[in-house]
Amino acid sequence: MSSKTLLAIAFVFVLLFGGWFFVTYNGLVTAQEGVDAQWYQVENQYQRRADLIPNLVDTVKGIVAHEEKTFTELAKYRAEWNAATTQDEKIAAAKGMDSTLSGLQVIVENYPQLKSNENFLALQAQLEGTENRIAVERMRYNEKVRDYNIQLKRMPTSIVANMYGFKDKTYFEAERGTEEVPVVTFGTPAATPGLTTVTTTPIASASVNLYGEKTDVNIGEDIILKLSAVNLITKPVMNVQVILIPPSGMSVTSSEFATSGAGQFTTTYKLDPGGARDIEVRIKTSQVGDFTVRGRVIYYFGDNVSTAEDHTLELPIKVRAKNPIGG
């Protein structure tokens, strides 16, 4: 074989190796940037939650001042979050907030008067929405980390990774006891004594919350409910149907709902993987008394209707007579 042929072969080999090397290196850089970009989405949602905590604590403290330990821990982890300069420090502070907020929820359950405080209810609704988005973004982050870490370990990509110091990324694992997603609920802020909350079985693939925001009203005022849904899985579309049955003579006036016969009002929609949606439900009042709004939430993933989850729900409400002027 002539020297020219050998040189040509060597040249082709160098070209092929160089092409593979640059493609592999650039692939690792792209995967690493994807992990970092998704982390920023997680961080943004945790920052939003951290910003809500001071107002939440002030509201709860005004009613339950003696639960100082929980308030102190929340302040501590929020300060650690704001002071953190590395991703590991941010994760540690976020996990601390996760567990402490769970403790705060226990306090809320023990003090029903909190559930009738309008400031608290508004903050709680914002916090629930943020928690849903945190779950989605954290799931996406862990998927990016998994794909990147697999690339690092595969041969011959691992050779380039070791040459240029690419390191494994850390998964964001939930603290023990915080991995449960929010349950499907049809609740009430307990503005009226005797009202109850009906809670169904937790679903690991979705978060659907339907709760009362304004359920103790004067005649002529609208009853206001909130529906929040999040698709927590990464592939199938989530199909959601909500059926509400208000008390006789009352009607759902929200534009999303249509009459479906027999006093029922219904809406259906789809959520893309990781998608979320919030709906305000308004019910027009027409009579005074204690009533119950009944309803169902039905959802399934993709086209597999046979796996549909069907939850029957009830929400007590109160409609009062208008107070006379000056009364």
Q: Is residue 37 included in any domain, yes or no?
A: yes
Residue 36 lies in a domain: yes
What is the bridge-based pairing of β-strands 309-320 and 289-301?
antiparallel
Q: Is residue 172 part of a domain?
A: no
**The residue to which tokens 């000056």 are assigned:** 326
Instruction: Give the domain CATH number at 48.
Output: 1.20.1440.20
Residue 16: in which H helix or E strand, if any? Answer: helix 3-61
Query: Does 118 lie in the same domain as 7?
Result: yes
Same domain, 138 and 27: yes
- 67: how many CB neighbours lie within 10 A of its CB? 18
Mean pLDDT in residue range 55-67: 71
Range of the domain at 209: 185-320
Is residue 173 assigned to a domain?
A: no
pTM to 2 decimals?
0.45
Residue finishing a domain among 132, 163, 194: 163
- pLDDT of res. 22: 74
Number of domains within the chain: 2
201 and 70: one domain? no
Mean pLDDT confidence for 26-41: 80
Mind giving me the DSSP string for 73-140?
HHHHHHHHHHH--SHHHHHHHHHHHHHHHHHHHHHHHH-GGGGG-HHHHHHHHHHHHHHHHHHHHHHH
Average pLDDT value for residue range 237-259:
87
- pLDDT tops 70 at residue 205: no
Q: Model confidence at 193, in pLDDT bands (50, 70, 90)?
A: very low
Is 327 among the domain residues? no
210 and 273 housed in the same domain = yes
User: For position 196, which CATH number holds?
Assistant: 2.60.40.10
Percent of the chain past pLDDT 90, that is, above it, reads: 1
What is the C-alpha separation between 71 and 101, in angstroms, rounded? 10
pLDDT in tens, 162-192: 777 788 887 776 554 443 333 334 344 333 3
Residues 41 and 133 sit within 8 Å (Cβ to Cβ):
no
pLDDT at 257 over 50: yes
Mark which of 133, 163, 193 sits at the end of a domain: 163
Please report whether residue 326 resides in a domain: no
| Same domain assignment for residues 8 and 120 | yes
Considering the domain architecture, whether residues 193 and 283 belong to the same structural domain is answered as: yes
Say which residue, 66 or 57, is predicted with more confidence.
57
Contacts of 248 (CB under 8 A, 6+ apart): 263
- At 25, which amino acid appears? Y
pLDDT in the model for residue 191: 38
Query: For residue range 96-145, what is the model confidence (pLDDT) as tens digits?
Result: 888 888 777 777 766 666 766 777 777 777 777 777 778 788 888 888 88
Of 94, 9, 105, residue with least CA distance to 44: 94
Taking phi over 0 as left and psi of -120 to 50 as alpha, with beta for the rest, 39 belongs to alpha
The C-alpha atoms of residue 170 and residue 305 are separated, in whole angstroms, by 37
Least confident range from 4-8, 81-85, 262-266: namely 4-8
Is residue 210 very low, low, confident or very high in pLDDT (cuts 50, 70, 90)? Answer: low
**Same domain for 100 and 217?**
no
Q: How far is CA 295 from the centre of its chain?
A: 22
Are 280 and 226 contacting, i.e. CB atoms less than 8 angstroms apart? yes
- Does the residue 45 lie in any domain? yes
Nearest CA to 53 among 18, 96, 92, 8?
A: 96
Same domain, 130 and 263: no
Q: Is residue 236 part of a domain?
A: yes
